[in-house]
Amino acid sequence: MDTVVPLPSAPALARPAARGVSRHRIAAWLIGVCALVFVMVVVGGVTRLTRSGLSITEWAPIAGTLPPLNDADWATQVARYPQTPAYLKVNAGMTLAEFKGIFWWEYVHRLLGRLIGLAFLLPLLWFAVRGRIERALLPRLAAIFALGGVQGAIGWWMVSSGLVDTPRVSHVRLAVHLGTAFLIFAAMWWTALDLLAPASPPALAPERRRAARRATALAVLVFAMVLSGALVAGTRAGLVYNSFPLMDGHVVPPGLFALDPWWDSLLHDLTTVQFDHRMLAWLLMFVIPAFWWSLRRIALPPAVRRPANLMLAMLGVQVLLGVSTLMLHVPVALGAAHQGGALLLFALTLWTAHALRRG
């Protein structure tokens, strides 16, 4: 009698394909949230440059979702603002129309934060309930969501520093806030790239593994430049030494590390803060092209070379934005574009590192 071999059921046959579809859908969702974070970073730059960040004087994650809807609501908002250093020392006598101009930027910035939270949480719950998320991936996604919640608290911690004595937020807290936004973006971006990569990556040649490590180091260097840029923005060091490539005729300007102790200058001295940011930019201007050139000696598929090519091109755009922002005394549009450009360069550097490892 012939042995009857049962055929796999339809769900069993569909499971591998369904898993692949789910991985791509989850990746698309994460990339979409990354796009929202990019918008958030640009709007945050505008908020800072227009000095709008101190216009809302309380942190109300739920109640603050709705904007002022009538004259009484606006009267309540306006009544709080004159008690802040930003009004007393910078905007005394501001009209209601002028106040609305800065209020809306800060409101949109906070609303985007809430939108990003929902855009992450609701699809996460939907994918989880339907069993579309691999068990090993759930802790990573939960950690990203938790970090997003911490970022909201960091944002208020930053804003509150400008509501006490000085009409500006702490530049150190600003650097923490911006750096955390970049880390959240990196976690989502890298996870999306993992989901889009082959499940079984090919064995890598030694020179390709070394190139992947160098690309990761480049991403760390770009992140360091972002933090130094936040210090420049927070101290308004971009409004001094508005010449390039020299700093008022000097390669190394006088007055570096003028504070005592000297390491305090790394955070608080305008000359040192801008010099450090320039030096990191100069370093990237040399090491990224050198790294790109070194990849020409390695046999790589086009899909791996593509992010490296885009990274090199974005470096040129970012340098142009940075120099223009500096020499034009930090106009709002260029300053915000420069901040957004930093995130794009960071994303492309991470993509290059990931493609070298998994592509």
Residue 185 sits in the same domain as residue 207: no
pLDDT level of residue 76 (50, 70, 90 thresholds): confident
pLDDT level of residue 339 (50, 70, 90 thresholds): very high
Q: How far apart are CA 110 and CA 103, in angstroms?
A: 11
Interval 291-304: pLDDT, tens: 999 999 998 999 99
Q: What is the mean pLDDT of residues 245-258?
A: 93
| Amino acid 13: pLDDT | 35
- Asked if residue 14 has pLDDT above 60, the reply is no
Query: What is the DSSP secondary-structure string of 47-98?
Result: HHHTT-TTS--S--TTGGGSPP-SHHHHHHHHHHGGGSHHHHHT-TT--HHH
Residue 216 sits in the same domain as residue 331: yes
| Amino acid 285: pLDDT | 97
Structure tokens at 269: 């001295």
What's the DSSP call for residue 247? B
Residue 4 lies in a domain: no
Residue 241 sits in the same domain as residue 345: yes
Residue 1 lies in a domain: no
Q: Is 249 left (phi over 0), alpha (psi -120 to 50) or beta?
A: left
| Amino acid 343: pLDDT | 98
Tell me whether residue 224 is exposed, middle or buried, using C-beta atoms within 10 angstroms of its C-beta: 0 to 12, 13 to 18, 19 or more: middle
| Amino acid 89: pLDDT | 86
Residue 159 sits in the same domain as residue 225: no
Interval 315-326: pLDDT, tens: 999 999 999 999
Structure tokens at 26: 């989850």
Residue 347 lies in a domain: yes
Q: Last residue of a domain, which of 196, 228, 261?
A: 196
Q: Last residue of a domain, which of 149, 169, 196?
A: 196
| Amino acid 20: pLDDT | 65
- Asked if residue 11 has pLDDT above 50, the reply is no
- Asked if residue 9 has pLDDT above 70, the reply is no
Residue 50 lies in a domain: yes
Structure tokens at 331: 């106009």
| Amino acid 80: pLDDT | 84
The phi and psi torsions of 250 (rounded to 5 degrees) equal: -120, 140
Q: Which ranges constitute the DSSP H helices of 256-301?
A: 265-268, 270-295
Residue 114 sits in the same domain as residue 65: yes
Radius of gyration of the chain, Cα coordinates, nearest whole angstrom: 24
Structure tokens at 260: 């005592």
| Amino acid 63: pLDDT | 62
Q: How far apart are the first and last CA of the chain?
A: 50
Residue 9 lies in a domain: no
Structure tokens at 34: 């990354």
Tell me whether residue 323 is exposed, middle or buried, using C-beta atoms within 10 angstroms of its C-beta: 0 to 12, 13 to 18, 19 or more: middle
Of 64-68, 168-172, 239-243, 282-286, where does mean pLDDT reach its minimum? 64-68
| Domains of the chain: total | 2
pLDDT level of residue 105 (50, 70, 90 thresholds): very high
Residue 332 sits in the same domain as residue 310: yes
Q: How far apart are CA 101 and CA 47, in angstroms?
A: 11
Residue 6 lies in a domain: no
| Amino acid 233: pLDDT | 95
Of the two residues 198 and 15, the one the predictor is more confident about is: 198
Q: Are 254 and 338 in contact (CB under 8 A)?
A: no
- Asked if residue 71 has pLDDT above 90, the reply is no
Q: Last residue of a domain, which of 147, 176, 196?
A: 196
Residue 32 sits in the same domain as residue 152: yes
| Amino acid 36: pLDDT | 98
3-state SS, residue 250:
strand
| Amino acid 139: pLDDT | 95
**Mean residue pLDDT across the chain:** 90
Structure tokens at 233: 């923005």
- Asked if residue 94 has pLDDT above 90, the reply is no
Interval 15-65: pLDDT, tens: 555 566 789 999 999 999 999 999 999 999 999 999 898 888 888 777 678
Q: Are 268 and 235 in contact (CB under 8 A)?
A: yes
pTM score, whole prediction: 0.91
- Domain range holding 245? 200-359
Q: Which residues are paired to 30 by β-bridges?
A: none
Residue 118 lies in a domain: yes
- Asked if residue 1 has pLDDT above 60, the reply is no
| Amino acid 12: pLDDT | 40
Residue type, 205: A
Residue 225 lies in a domain: yes
Alpha carbon dihedral 84, 59, 139, 34, in 10-degree steps, equals -70
Interval 112-135: pLDDT, tens: 999 999 999 999 999 999 999 999
